[in-house]
Structure 1
Amino acid sequence: MKSLVVNQFGSVPQMNIEVRPDPVARNGFTLVKMHAATINPLSHQVRSGMVDTAKAPLVLSNDGSGLVEASGRFEKGTPVAIYGGGQLGITQDGLQQEWALVEDRRIIELPAGFDLDEGAALPINYVTAYQALTRVGKVVKGQTVLISGASGALGHALIQTARALGAIPIGVVSSAGKVARAQQSGAHSVIDLSTQDLRQAVLEATGDQGADLAFDPVGGEVLGQLLSALTTRGAVVSIGFVGGVTASINVADVVIYEKRVLGYDAWLETNEDVAVALKAIKGFINGGLLRPSIDSTFPMEQFAEAYERLLSRQATGTILLRL
């Protein structure tokens, strides 16, 4: 089978398509003929050498989709999505290859008619969104939540999941060209940081109350801005740092209004937590409340172009590698 392998991590990672032996089915695992795998920020962090537990050579990507070839749990031909958690594409070979042998517990059976491209974009984004909103943020129906990076794949999942949970999402984007995508995701309103002051816009949208919660896949200077736009005892849940690993916050604002900054890391999820999240996500899918957003797809041979698209930060949805 063909596999996309990182042979050396670094600022200019060395990646090549190699021919490897096909995996052999065994008990407790499902053999999947891969349809597509994601190109996401985590994949880039791993190949850049930012994840200490990852060792080259390595096949990247911790979520994707395909058709079951052999399994003791699923029928042959079943369309499935794969949730790789903190292992696949990090400490174990991931999904950017033609075949994958995956533990049964990582397999999500897709509803009939669910598009395989959308299935590939489903697992990590929606598990992250659901757990960040519920386990960490403890969102309550009717609360107003800010979502940065709202035009991206995770922002899209956060908006849809927040709505499914009964919250009121306000999208935050970096340019006018991304407003429409956040609106299409279901944001109640959208704030464009290129023309609007975040705190002032949130106060206007909430009757001078501020938002109850904020969810931040971006990081950098945006985190401090989100914190300033919260109501008393509000919290920012920090999920990522594509915009930078350092932030500036107003300590007096944090102290006087008892605001909080919380972290979310998918690697810390237990099997039980993931099972609960996947059950809820499947219910939302069946109810027509969740549908992933695809930015672009690339054949395996164009992996360099796919990563260039990711690094451009212009993607409005998930980038897929077709396998």
Structure 2
Amino acid sequence: MKAIVCKEFGPPSTLRLEEVENPKPKAGEVLITVKACGVNFPDTLIIQGSYQFKPDLPFIPGSDIAGIVKEVGDGISHLRPGDEVFGFVLNGGYAEEVVVPGNACFKKPPMMDFPVAASFMMAYGTSYHALKDRGGLQAGETLLVLGASGGVGLAAVELGKLMGAKVIAAASSDDKLDLCKEYGADAVINYSTEDLKTRIKELTANKGVDVAYDPVGGPYSEPTIRGMAWKGRYLVVGFAAGDIPKIPLNLPLLKGCAIIGVFWGSFAMKTPKENMQNAMELMQWYAKGQLKPHIHDIYPLTAAPKALEAMMKRQVRGKLVIRCTD
């Protein structure tokens, strides 16, 4: 089969399209013919060796997949060959076939096409786990979303509104913020041209935000914590800015706020029942037309490095998708 292979850590230009051996499912696993794979910001870090974990070289990037079940391993009873599914893997998605753990593979709703399915689980799974399980977001609270036009950020904006919060979207350009307004943001902050801490105070009448969702890090984290409300929850989701910030620990003390880590991948693998419940709730919202993933562009498998380059250059609103097979 054809796959995008990372043989050395580095930029997307080091990736190669190669013929590799077809994978085989073991007990508890499912072999998927991959129709589409979502591109996520962590992919850009993983191929450079700068993510929380480093896969052994060589490896195939890609986590968010959608496709058709080709074969099931022993112990799999909820899926059978021919089922249309979407799922999550640690890596291996940028390929024509991939093996997925059975507890991380779900039947795809008939009305959901493959590119949308490949854009769904990581973005919405991460954001819902963050807001519901880690942040305890309540109706009537104020939610600030940094990097709000990206895949997970836009999902957080959409979910925050569904959960009854007032949503403030923060991003780096007006066109990105226009998309956030379309997805329900009540107010916006352009942190390229506006002072983040000042605008948070203005938009909350000096109260601060109850929950902050931060997949960006870098220079925006400290002013966000300074803008937290009493007993607020600051959610550490990622570091798309490239820098892991050093936070003065007197700030959470003075604010009485919590700094909470969010790692959806580990949550999904370690607590599959809870993750399945979240996935079912997300599917119900999708079926009602209340969740609509925004796909910025679709690339062929041969152009996967170009998709990753676009992600790294911050040229993307919503999600990018790689079409792996016809």
Q: Do both proteins adopt the same fold according to a TM-score greater than 0.5, normalized to the shorter chain?
A: yes
Give the conservation status (yes or no) of the 8 Å contact 1:6–1:13: no
Once the two structures are overlaid, the 10-residue window that deviates more, 266-275 or 132-141, is: 266-275
Change in CA separation of 1:267 and 1:68 when aligned onto 2, cut-off 3 Å: closer
Once the two structures are overlaid, the 10-residue window that deviates more, 248-257 or 180-189, is: 248-257
Cα offset for 1:175? 1.6
Once the two structures are overlaid, the 10-residue window that deviates more, 170-179 or 145-154, is: 170-179
Give the conservation status (yes or no) of the 8 Å contact 2:46–2:54: no
Change in CA separation of 1:222 and 1:100 when aligned onto 2, cut-off 3 Å: same
1:80: which partner in 2? 85
Structure 1 segments (4+ residues) deviating >6 Å: none
Give the conservation status (yes or no) of the 8 Å contact 2:170–2:188: yes
Match for residue 173 of structure 2 among 175, 191, 194: 175
Alpha-carbon separation, structure 1, partners of 2:67 and 2:160:
28
Once the two structures are overlaid, the 10-residue window that deviates more, 246-255 or 232-241, is: 246-255
Alpha-carbon separation, structure 1, partners of 2:179 and 2:307:
20
* Aligned residue pair count: 316
Q: Residue deviations 1:232-269, cap 9 Å, x none?
A: 22121110101133336565544332233222122431
Alpha-carbon separation, structure 1, partners of 2:192 and 2:47:
31
2:110 is aligned with what amino acid? A
1:240: which partner in 2? 238
1:131 is aligned with what amino acid? H
Alpha-carbon separation, structure 2, partners of 1:49 and 1:306:
18
Cα offset for 1:217? 0.6
Give the conservation status (yes or no) of the 8 Å contact 2:169–2:180: yes
Q: Say which SS state the counterpart of residue 50 (structure 2) adopts.
A: coil
1:209: which partner in 2? 207
1:16: which partner in 2? 16
2:88 is aligned with what amino acid? Y
1:2: which partner in 2? 2
Q: Residue deviations 1:275-314, cap 9 Å, x none?
A: 2221221222223221211111111111221111011112
Give the conservation status (yes or no) of the 8 Å contact 1:221–1:246: no
1:63: which partner in 2? 64
Superposed counterparts of 1:121-136, under 5 Å: 121-136=119-134
Q: Residue deviations 1:157-188, cap 9 Å, x none?
A: 11112122222211001122211111122212
Change in CA separation of 1:259 and 1:25 when aligned onto 2, cut-off 3 Å: closer
Give the conservation status (yes or no) of the 8 Å contact 1:80–1:107: yes
Once the two structures are overlaid, the 10-residue window that deviates more, 212-221 or 36-45, is: 36-45
Alpha-carbon separation, structure 1, partners of 2:285 and 2:207:
30
Give the conservation status (yes or no) of the 8 Å contact 1:118–1:294: yes
Identical pairs, percent:
26
Q: Residue deviations 1:71-122, cap 9 Å, x none?
A: 45335443321122xxx21xxxx11111122222111212221121111011
Alpha-carbon separation, structure 2, partners of 1:12 and 1:209:
43
1:32: which partner in 2? 32
TM-score, length basis structure 1: 0.90
Match for residue 188 of structure 2 among 187, 190, 197: 190
Give the conservation status (yes or no) of the 8 Å contact 2:33–2:68: yes
Change in CA separation of 1:184 and 1:235 when aligned onto 2, cut-off 3 Å: same
Once the two structures are overlaid, the 10-residue window that deviates more, 125-134 or 246-255, is: 246-255
Give the conservation status (yes or no) of the 8 Å contact 1:127–1:278: yes
Alpha-carbon separation, structure 1, partners of 2:226 and 2:181:
23
Alpha-carbon separation, structure 2, partners of 1:265 and 1:272:
16
Q: Say which SS state the counterpart of residue 7 (structure 1) adopts.
A: coil
Alignment gaps of 5+ in structure 2: none
Higher relative contact order (CA 8 A, sep 6+): 2
Q: Residue deviations 1:105-159, cap 9 Å, x none?
A: 1112122211211110111111110111112111111111000001111111111
Give the conservation status (yes or no) of the 8 Å contact 2:196–2:220: no
Alpha-carbon separation, structure 2, partners of 1:137 and 1:193:
23
Match for residue 262 of structure 1 among 260, 280, 292: 260
Q: Say which SS state the counterpart of residue 285 (structure 2) adopts.
A: helix
Alpha-carbon separation, structure 2, partners of 1:188 and 1:80:
34
Alignment gaps of 5+ in structure 1: none
Cα offset for 1:12? 6.9
Q: Say which SS state the counterpart of residue 176 (structure 2) adopts.
A: helix
1:277: which partner in 2? 278
RMSD: 2.1
Alpha-carbon separation, structure 1, partners of 2:260 and 2:101:
31
Give the conservation status (yes or no) of the 8 Å contact 1:64–1:120: yes
Once the two structures are overlaid, the 10-residue window that deviates more, 167-176 or 14-23, is: 14-23
1:159 is aligned with what amino acid? V
Change in CA separation of 1:83 and 1:12 when aligned onto 2, cut-off 3 Å: closer
Once the two structures are overlaid, the 10-residue window that deviates more, 60-69 or 9-18, is: 9-18
Alpha-carbon separation, structure 2, partners of 1:134 and 1:282:
15
2:31 is aligned with what amino acid? L
2:44: which partner in 1? 44
